[in-house]
Amino acid sequence: MKPVYKRIIFLVAILVLWELGGRLGLWAEIILPSPTNVFTAVYVGITDMTLVYDLIASFRRLIIGLTIALVIGTSIGVLIAKSKTADDTIGSTLLAFQSVPSIVWLPLAIMWFGLNDQAVIFVVILGGTFVMALNVRTGIKNVSPLYLKAAQTMGSKGIDLFIRVIFPASVPYLVTGSRLAWAFAWRALIAGELLTTGPGLGYTLQYASDFGDMSLVIGVMIIIGVIGAVVDQLIFQRIEKSVARRWGL
C-alpha cells in the first residue's frame, strides 16, 4: 500500500474516533469539540473572510521576515565559515542564540517596536536567521578538500573559487537551512501574532481562546499544522530531494 493511502486511512480513523468520542460524551465539548463543530467554525471563518484575511496577513509577515532571515543568515554563515576570528566569536554566539525559543524575543520586540507588524517580523527574522547561518557555515566547512585542490590546480582562487566551487558544493546545506529556517520562522510567526492586535492566525487563535470558542481554536491549530506540513512536503522536501539527487547524495 502506498504511503499516501496509509496516511489517508490513518487520518480518517482519527476523525471517526474523534467524532464518535464527542457524540458519546466521552469528553466535554468545551474541552475537545467534535470535528463537525470544528469544520463548521472553520467554514464560517472562511465564508466571512476572517480566516482569509488572517492567512494573507500572516503570509505577508512570513514572506518579509523569512526573506530577510535567509539573506542575513546566508551572509553571516559565509562570514563565520571563511573567517576563523568570526567563527570563534560570532559563531559561538549563534549557537547560544539558536537554543533560545523565538517567543523569548517577543517582549524585547514589543519594547522596541510596539504591538505591530514590525515586532512580529523581527521575531520571524530571528527565528530563521540563526539556523540558516549555522547550516551555511556547515555546508562551506564540509566542502571536500579534493574539490578545492583540483580547482586551485586549474588556477581558481579567491572569489572565483568561492563562486565556482565552494558555493555550488554547499547548496544542499543551503536548501536544508532554508527548510529549517521556514519551520522556525513559521513557529515564530504564530508565537509573535499571539500578542498582536491586527489580523493573523496567531491573533485569531488568542481571540478565540479568550472568548472560549474552542471549535475555532482547534480549527486554527489544524490550519497552522496543515500549512506547515504542506509547505514542507510539497515545496521544501521536493527541492531538497531534487538537489540531493542532482548532487549525487
For position 103, what pLDDT does the model report? 81
CB atoms within 10 A of CB 166: 19
What is the distance between the alpha carbons of residues 60 and 238, in angstroms, rounded to a whole number?
Answer: 23
What does 151-165 look like in DSSP terms, one character per residue?
A: HHHTT--HHHHIIII
pLDDT tens-digit series, residues 92-127: 888 888 888 888 888 888 888 888 889 999 999 999
Residues of the chain with pLDDT under 50: none
What does 183-239 look like in DSSP terms, one character per residue?
A: HHHHHHHHHHHTT-SSSSHHHHHHHHHHTT-HHHHHHHHHHHHHHHHHHIIIIIHHH
What is the distance between the alpha carbons of residues 59 and 43, in angstroms, rounded to a whole number?
Answer: 20
C-alpha cell at 188: 515564530
What domains appear along the chain, each with residue ranges and CATH number?
33-246 (1.10.3720.10)
pLDDT tens-digit series, residues 84-94: 888 888 888 88
| Contact indicator for 106, 123 with CB cutoff of 8 Å | yes
C-alpha cell at 103: 517567543
What are the angstrom distances between the C-alpha of 225 and each of 7, 68, 142, 147, 160?
15, 24, 33, 41, 43
What is the distance between the alpha carbons of residues 70 and 67, in angstroms, rounded to a whole number?
Answer: 5
| Contact indicator for 54, 189 with CB cutoff of 8 Å | no
What is the distance between the alpha carbons of residues 195 and 188, in angstroms, rounded to a whole number?
Answer: 12
What is the distance between the alpha carbons of residues 186 and 231, in angstroms, rounded to a whole number?
Answer: 10
Largest Cα–Cα separation, the chain: 76
What are the angstrom distances between the C-alpha of 172 and each of 80, 114, 244, 246?
18, 38, 7, 10
For position 28, what pLDDT does the model report? 76
For position 43, what pLDDT does the model report? 92
For position 108, what pLDDT does the model report? 87
What are the angstrom distances between the C-alpha of 124 and each of 61, 113, 239?
8, 14, 22
| Contact indicator for 136, 80 with CB cutoff of 8 Å | no
For position 167, what pLDDT does the model report? 82
For position 248, what pLDDT does the model report? 66
CB atoms within 10 A of CB 62: 24
| Contact indicator for 194, 186 with CB cutoff of 8 Å | no
CB atoms within 10 A of CB 105: 22
